Structure 1
Amino acid sequence: MDISRRTFTLAGLAATALAGCGGGSSSNTNLRLLNTNVSSPNALSLEVNGTVISSGVAFGQAGSYVSVGTDTNTVRVLDQNGTAIYSSSFSLSGSSGPYTLVVAGFSGATHTTTLTENQSSAASSRAYLRILDQCPDADDIDIYMLGDGETLSSATPLVSLSSITLAGYYTLNSGTYTLVVTGAGSRDDVRLTQSGITLASTSVQTLVLSSAAGGVLVDATVVLQQSTVTSYRNTQSRLRVVSALPSQAVASASVTSSGSAISLLSSLVSPAIGTYSLVASGSLPVSLTLNGTTTSQTVALTAGNDYTLLVYGDPASPQTTLLTDSNRLPTSSTTANVRLYHACGTSTAATALSIGYVPIVSGVTLGSSGLGVLSNTPYSSTQLTVSGGVSYSASDIAVASNGLYSMFIMGSTTSPVGQLYRER
């Protein structure tokens, strides 16, 4: 694959860079809205100076261009209930337009970038591609564009990005590529694989990467300059098994995905926490072996989500529950997200979690989980307490800032086993 990097002056790319700019002429330019906000799949609207100029923009779609003034505009993005999820005032340069306002993120954590769309065409048999990373919950990522015959194992990333970042244009040979996004420095940590990305001769395109529902996997949208957009939703999920049975129960688990068996636990003595595996979404058969006895069940997975299959209770007749996990990172650098999984014993009484004597989450019943936020991190050499249906405590606990933790309470009610596990 022949790749070269070109650097252009990217004036007015990020909405934050435009905010507060005044002046400008009284001429007009064109602006449209692109919806990549995973919490707003139905419709977003774009309001400028109190007037809705574009509405009904569904996820992965862009509204029509609308003429707006280049003087300072008050811009708001509204959800389907008319609530503003983004608001700012900025001016636009007529010479850099038209523009696409990209809205990404989740409810309560919206990210926006304003793309200029005035780049001259690439040469014949070439294409320009720039990349916008709008997925901070995915953390640092590597982006590969694989041509014919190229494999991920031997490829070099086109670019490595820390969100929220807009990379300049790259010059690639025109043709059809497979897009692969991985965690930074780890080809095994695949976040998205999408074949059939066409870069036509002379085209100018922007690849927008946004967080999928679980926070770790990634969706993609390709924007053809001043033209169409194409959405590529992630078709995979992540699944793990946690065997929280009392000690000495030997557990194995596997899932059949796309015709192949994937091991989720391999003859581990309970309690045991498996790692997430990338699997197809949809209905998948899971095989669970406990002390030599095998049972099967089907799990239903929604694309883009992360899941934990909890195994708990009496080893002679264990229970299982499939839980949807939010693995998003905190929105503040001085907080940590902490989740409690209650999979201990058979008591149905709800449990609560506190760290450093600060309540984090409560009301977590057997076979469920709850997510809370711990403020004023980091914590070191502090106390962790689980109370209610299960009594458990641990000292000398450390919680770093900007991390995601899971507290598993497992085993039996009389002999609970706790594990504070840093997910990210």
Structure 2
Amino acid sequence: MKKNFFLNFFSFSKKKRKKVVENKNNILKKNKKIHHISVSNVDKNIFDSSNIISKRSFTNSLMDVSQKSSRDCDKYNLNKVDIQSNQDAKKISTGKNLLELKNNSFINRNNFIKNLKEKLKKTRNYLGLGIKNIFSNKNVDVNLFNKLEEQLLLSDIGFATTNLIINNLKKETIRNKLSNTKEVYDLLKGQMLNILSKVEKNIDVVQSDFPFVILMVGVNGVGKTTTVGKLAAKYKKLGKSVMLAAGDTFRAAAIEQLKEWGFKNNISVIAQRMNADPAAVVFDAIKSAQAKKIDILIIDTAGRLHNKVYLMNELKKIKRVVNKVNILAPHEIILVVDACSGQNIVQQTKLFHESLDLTGIVITKLDGTAKGGVIFSVANQFYIPIYYIGTGENITDLKVFNSRTFIESIF
């Protein structure tokens, strides 16, 4: 009888112990750590039958020890972490970080687009909203395409590019048998995005070549010197060593303006007296940059009319001087154009490209004009990468060109 009692007692206690341990493990799993608890790890005196008064006191004692072991894992040597559990916890943590990063990126992108929409307000109101109003008509017919063609031409997209867009739009509409204006509208945005995506590219700075030479050119008044200063500040912020060359020796204000940018950003500026030979200034700048192991040298040049042969020849001379010092330079020849010039930009790009073989374009002052549609014409006709767009006077208003973001900001 006594023997059966103890057998039943310890059978019952074993179940209780197992249940307590399982409960504890479940609690610890919630904290993403699993502590392995076994009876052998707990004070063995607890199980001595001489210390047991009743089943209830035994169970309570075991629960007390279990709780104590949770608080003092190190004391009872119970702090054995399951490796797989740690890995799972790490995955969950990493997933949360990635999700948080993705959310932050999404928020930043939305803020960026919102800001760009505000900057491109004039172009958006004239081009984007103008096109949207045309598609408010429910009928997909000849009248729709005629009105669209007129709106594109008025938005400075140019005849050649407008003709391309309209013809492709008609073909795709017929081929896909589209009868809904919303579908045709989306098709239009896709075609315009395709035009811009072909010229979306970043400047690839060659690290092994000192210095990496960027030659900035353009006509008078397009914001060339300001763009040089902003670009220099961007590279300095990225940890690059930068030097500026004041190649515009015909305008005293240009030299002072460039020196001011250099002072603000702690960047060296190589300059000479007014009316000095620009090629000589550039030569000195390259030699200095080579000696100091400067990462990037940006050369500002005098604004000149693109249709004046002798002025364009001076730019060619600067290019030859740079090339003699470093056969791979200039690594970039970037044309700066003013969006307010509209279709005149096309002619500027054509003549500068013929003379210097341009590698990139920066379009400034997009915030102050409704003629932003010219960007489609330039992209379609020349396939020259558009590196940056200017949307204001602040240093943050020189933005890396992104075709999708631009389309979203316009439409």
Larger fraction in helix: 2
Scaled by the length of structure 2, what TM-score is found? Answer: 0.20
Between 1 and 2, higher relative CO (CA 8 Å, sep ≥ 6) is seen in: 2
